Amino acid sequence: MKTSHTLYVSCLLLAICCLSSCTSMRQLSAHQQALQRLAYGDMPPQEKFDGLAITLVGVIDESLRIINPEKTYRYLQKFSQQNEQELNLLYEELNAWREGMSGPQKVAFGARTLSKPYTRRLMNLNGKLQKRIGSRYTQLTLLAKVAGVLKVKMK
């Protein structure tokens, strides 16, 4: 009786692990599709900026649901590697767009960005992420680069 109970529990744990792995793969695939639409789609830069921020909020939120800090890091690393081309393309385009703004346009853009619902969420999640994975946070170069685009610069 005890052996069958142990076998049942083992099978249940194995099924849970498989399902959670499939879920994370589906989530990463959905984020990849969203980034491809943003990077290659014909939409205004403001819309791309908002879409990128919303996607990052989703990715970071999902990564923080993972209990193990090492797995959190690996999830974000996989996201970065899987979407490197799209993230770089968005980085270049949004950075050029922002550099082309005049001073008053930058102020208006900053005010609009601060009023967006994703701004506070992104700031909170970013702080939690830094605490969770510690010094490895700086190793996520693509996310750091994209986070640089999301910062509102008034220079």
User: What is 18-57 written as a DSSP string?
Assistant: HHHHHHHHHHHHHHHHHHHHHHHS---HHHHHHHHHHHHH
pLDDT tens-digit map of 45-88: 999 999 999 999 999 999 899 888 898 889 988 998 899 899 98
Can you give the pLDDT at residue 55?
Answer: 92
Can you give the pLDDT at residue 154?
Answer: 46
Can you give the pLDDT at residue 38?
Answer: 92
Can you give the pLDDT at residue 129?
Answer: 86
Low-confidence ranges of the chain (pLDDT < 70): 1-23, 141-155
Can you give the pLDDT at residue 152?
Answer: 54
What the block records as the tokens of 67 is 């209990």
Q: Comparing C-alpha atoms, which of 150, 151, 154, 153 is closest to residue 52?
A: 150
With b for 16 or more beta-carbon neighbours within 10 A and e for fewer, the 66-90 pattern comes to beebeebbbbbbebbeebeebbebb
Tally the residues of the chain. Answer: 155
Can you give the pLDDT at residue 12?
Answer: 52
Can you give the pLDDT at residue 28?
Answer: 84
Q: Comparing C-alpha atoms, which of 61, 74, 69 is closest to residue 126?
A: 61
96-103 contacts, C-beta under 8 A, 24 or more apart: 97/45, 97/49, 98/149, 98/153, 103/154
Can you give the pLDDT at residue 148?
Answer: 65
Contact between 109 and 152 (Cβ < 8 Å): yes
Can you tell me the distance from the alpha carbon of 130 to that of 133, in angstroms, rounded to the nearest whole number?
Answer: 6
